[in-house]
Amino acid sequence: MSREAKGGKNKAFLMPKPHSNQQEDRNIDSTLRPTAWDEYIGQEKIKHGLRVILDAAKKRKEAADHLLFSGPAGLGKTTLAYLVARDLGGIIRTTSGPAIEKTGDLAAILTNLTPNEILFIDEAHRINPMIEEVLYPAMEARKLHLVVGKGPSARTLSLDLPPFTLIAATTRENLLSQPLRSRFGATMRLGYYEPADIKKILERSAAILGIAADLDAVEILARASRGTPRVANRLLKRARDFAEVHGGGGPDGTAIDRTAALATLEMLEIDEAGLEPSDRRLLTTIIEKFNGGPVGINTLSAALAEDRGVIEDIYEPYLMTLGFLQRSSAGRVVLPAAYRHLKIKDRGELL
């Protein structure tokens, strides 16, 4: 049956299904977050290392060592922090680097910690250097040193802190100061997920959300997910929307099939390799304006009217993983694989 012929039937699916949980839809991201180690797919070496650290801490009945999770956004750093807290049976207190504006803010958080509590700081690279100074003795000796008063009457107050574990997450480990980095007992660097793991994540998410999706659709969405679970789940939700509004496969016409998956990617302007318009624009700018490179990051930032941090943190890591872009001492260079993907003849072919 054609898509047009099914259109009238599918209008009913614009209304919520009787069995759908609207609260779950509003909290969909937290709903999809794994709550046990066996639900966390991928990053096997990191999981194994964490289990050794945590099991040893529990055996000694001590607080676990401080942990640093680094890697691109959407790879599961926050989820790992919550799994660590659950494994240790403790409470997790969350904050972020930009939220800690003054020394007093951090002091208030530290003095309210309970024994064996987990303190999770997201975007740790954005912690003010002055505030870092307070963290050093807190992490090393569980001491909080405060200066009370001003001028000649100022005095230093030292407070004992309960045993706690600091977990920090960052997308830019290079921006963390060396003194802070050295105080973590272990640094876990998360990498992009393998396609097979992304497919398992999509299948798990589809089962939780009650979405029917065929194998071809899952394969297509997985390839376009940039090796990132957060992106995979976002594409799955948009494909569900498309199938419910425009029709899909399955008995009720709302299952995500190959056609719905491809149409979703076209709607979002994402190609089969997961490149978005901004990624393609970066590559074509280097090719067309700078002869394929090398071009310096500041020049490229000006040409794209884009912050260099966004280029370095968001666009480049995935493009380098695909073998489309190379960082060299002279600047950024577009590699032959990118020319082939964009269907552009490289310089060698034009000579």
Task: Assign 177 to helix, strand or coil.
Answer: coil
Indicate the Cα dihedral angle 94, 81, 191, 29, nearest 10°. Answer: -70
- Is the preceding omega at residue 294 within 30 degrees of 0, hence cis? yes
- Model pLDDT, residue 253: 67
CA angle 224-226-227, nearest 5°? 115
**Res 297 pLDDT > 50:** yes
φ and ψ of 110, to 5 deg: -65, -40
In eight-state DSSP terms, residue 247 is -
pLDDT digits (tens, 9 = 90+) for 41-50: 999 999 999 9
In the residue annotation, 280 being an active-site residue is answered as no
CA angle 40-44-45, nearest 5°? 140
pLDDT digits (tens, 9 = 90+) for 260-274: 999 999 999 999 999
Choice among 165, 171, 254, 264 that is catalytic: 171
Task: Give all domains of the chain, ordered by start, each with its CATH number.
Answer: 3-20+193-267 (1.10.8.60), 43-189 (3.40.50.300), 277-350 (1.10.10.10)
In the residue annotation, 122 being an active-site residue is answered as yes
- Model pLDDT, residue 148: 66
Mean pLDDT of 159-174: 91
Around 167, how many Cα atoms within 13 Å sit in the side-chain half-sphere?
25
Choice among 78, 94, 299, 321 that is catalytic: 78
In the residue annotation, 78 being an active-site residue is answered as yes
Measured CA to CA, the distance from residue 23 to residue 20 in angstroms comes to: 9
Pairing of strands 155-160, 143-148: antiparallel
- Model pLDDT, residue 43: 93
Which two structure tokens, joined as six digits, stand for 288? 């067309």
pLDDT digits (tens, 9 = 90+) for 64-110: 999 999 999 899 999 999 999 999 987 899 999 999 988 888 888 99
Measured CA to CA, the distance from residue 221 to residue 261 in angstroms comes to: 7
In the residue annotation, 289 being an active-site residue is answered as no
Q: What angle, rounded to 10 degrees, do the helices at 215-223 and 258-267 form?
A: 30
Amino acid at 244: E
**Res 192 pLDDT > 90:** yes
Residue 277, H or E segment:
helix 277-290
Measured CA to CA, the distance from residue 105 to residue 142 in angstroms comes to: 17
* CA-based nearest residue to 36, from 90, 79, 92: 79
Predicted TM-score of the model (pTM): 0.81
251 exposure class (CB count in 10 Å sphere: 0-12, 13-18, 19+)? exposed
pLDDT digits (tens, 9 = 90+) for 129-142: 888 888 999 998 89
Measured CA to CA, the distance from residue 93 to residue 7 in angstroms comes to: 49
In the residue annotation, 281 being an active-site residue is answered as no
Which two structure tokens, joined as six digits, stand for 331? 């600047």
